[in-house]
Structure 1
Amino acid sequence: MDLDTIAWIATAAYAVHILEEYTFDWRNWARSVIRLPVEWSDFYVTNAVVVVLGICQAMLAPKLPVAPLIYAALMIINATFFHVLPFLRARGRFSPGLVTALVLFYPIGIATFVIAAPGIGTVVGAVVGGALLMAAPVVMLTQKSRPYFRQDRA
């Protein structure tokens, strides 16, 4: 398998992951377990962006191989910090997205790095890029209610 193919598979896996999260009510889980002030509209917009990024990284794979690595890092970070660790901290309370994180995100994310066989600098850059992509919506969600960012003020 080549990098282009695994990049498209990663995008499809993320779509299935989103379906699992939606079906099993990720929004209410996130509000109660990880205390994230998320609404369904936030979920829809964030995941639409993730799908667009997935399509972009798959299309860029032939000319910019770091793009699929950043997306793979995003998948692994999402699986670890938003599904597996909260599941363990909540003593086995099901995390919507946990099944696809374990069955799809880890194998596909790891396979992407194996196929690309990047140097350590590229691995570090991809992990930093994936972490920034994962952090961006979380930071925006936690900051949007601060007075400076509120658009309903005079």
Structure 2
Amino acid sequence: MNNRILGIAALALAAMMIWQGHDLQAPFSYEPLGPRAFPLLIAAVMALCGLRLAIRGGGQAPANPPGANTRIAAMFGVIVGYALVFQWAGFIIATALMTLLVGRLFGGGWVGPAIGGVAGSVLLFVLFDRVLDVVLPVGLLGAWL
């Protein structure tokens, strides 16, 4: 029954995404498809997967291993925290910190996730902000960037 409930929830979420994304318009046309193509495509794929789960089910899902629910709640907290500090701290600091915390949640040490977080956030910042011209917040590092 768990898979059917998930399928129905996915169908409801897809319907809300289609409803919200259908009227999405950009003030100027910068690409042939416009800004609504991506959310509508994601909603359609989600609806197909949800429909499959709602119709076929799949039986009972196995229980989470011990400690998994705590890590899931912590991951939700990390994502909410990331959204809250993203503008203020800037992309590089917020993304590096999020990567470090997610790495720790999945059993990593301190050094590996820290190095990966800093390197990845700097490389992504350069790629998006400087190469692709997608403006990202600089936050606390504004004087150096």
TM-score, reference length from structure 2: 0.30
- Identify which of structures 1 and 2 has the higher relative contact order when contacts are C-alpha pairs closer than 8 Å and 6+ apart: 1
Larger Rg: 2
TM-score, reference length from structure 1: 0.29
